[in-house]
Amino acid sequence: MSYRTLPLNAIDAFLVTARHLNLTHAAKELCLTQGAVSRKIASLEDWFGFPLFERHARGLHLSPQGSALLPELRAAFEHLLTVAGQARAQQTVVRLKAPTCAMRWLVPRLLHLEREYPDLQIALTTTTDHGVNFKTEPFDAAIVFGTHFSAGDLLFEETLTPVLGAMFNNQSTLDNLTLLHPTRDKTDWSLWLAKQDSVQFVMKKNQHFDTMDLAITAAIQGLGMAIADATLVAEDIRAGRLFRPYSACVKTGASYRLVINESRNNASGLAAFRDGLLAG
């Protein structure tokens, strides 16, 4: 009889039942009905050609053949679980937290990582939170944003510049456009305008968003002129979805940085992730 017909899924049922010598307890541990456990054991007995248990009025007992087979099957099954666990551990997963405003920069680099490190999986969590607390959050790495971060690797500094959708490329006046704000206040536009001597316009029409990514998307669709980070919109500009009506940029003092949770034990995976992200 071919080994391929061996009912492998019945071996666990046999081992659990042999430990309890009680179908009710075995069924509860296996999350099966007693009938299902009995059928699994019966299929294994049919394959071997001898009984594994002796059924008595007061319960189950291992048959002589079952007693002889039990330690060998238990050792083989435990070895199988060990091999499977080791194989699973080699599948490196990096749990990454990143602010949604960084997605335009991050996604192309994740594609690069996927090509360069096919065994590396990035479990990405996006959030409007700009920081991370590795003591309370289950992440291996995070991209943080703000003016008060100094740890980790610098990815890029925030540099603001106005951007418009391609449909406005030939428009001679920009005075009546709606200004798109990446926050609920007007801080970014006010900062950029305060640094300009040759650009003078009043913020008459305004639309506010919760993230810069939303403001950029609205600009691409023609809702108005957004103030955006030059690095985040670089690909949109190269692709012709956006253009910069003014060349001036203003640094805000904020930056995007990569921080690593040094307490995680998948050091090789984190090292590959860090190297790939910084090189991408």
**What range defines the domain where residue 169 resides?**
160-251
**Residues in the chain where the model's pLDDT stays below 50:** 1-2
Return all residues near 258 (Cβ < 8 A) that are at least 6 apart. 141, 142, 143, 152, 153, 155, 274, 277, 278
Whether residues 110 and 33 share a domain: the answer is: no
Whether residues 196 and 266 share a domain: the answer is: no
From residue 221, alpha-carbon distances to 102, 208, 215, 224 in Å are 19, 15, 10, 8
Whether residues 201 and 65 share a domain: the answer is: no
Domains contained in the chain, number: 3
- pLDDT score, position 213: 92
Whether residues 13 and 141 share a domain: the answer is: no
CA atoms within 13 A on the CB side of 230: 16
pTM: 0.65
From residue 142, alpha-carbon distances to 129, 163, 262 in Å are 11, 28, 12
Encode pLDDT of 25-63 as tens digits: 999 999 999 999 999 999 999 999 999 999 887 788 999
CATH number at residue 102: 3.40.190.10
Whether residues 187 and 150 share a domain: the answer is: no
Whether residues 134 and 263 share a domain: the answer is: yes
- pLDDT score, position 1: 45
The Cα–Cα gap between 152 and 144 comes to 9
Whether residues 28 and 145 share a domain: the answer is: no
**208, 206, 186, 189: which is closest to 250 by C-alpha?**
189
Whether residues 146 and 264 share a domain: the answer is: yes
Helix (H, G, I), strand (E, B) or coil at 102: helix
Whether residues 165 and 246 share a domain: the answer is: yes
CATH number at residue 64: 1.10.10.10
Whether residues 170 and 55 share a domain: the answer is: no
242 with 164: CB under 8 angstroms?
A: yes
Encode pLDDT of 220-230 as tens digits: 999 999 999 99
Whether residues 236 and 189 share a domain: the answer is: yes
- pLDDT score, position 7: 85
- pLDDT score, position 125: 94
From residue 84, alpha-carbon distances to 4, 81, 88, 220, 223 in Å are 19, 5, 6, 48, 54
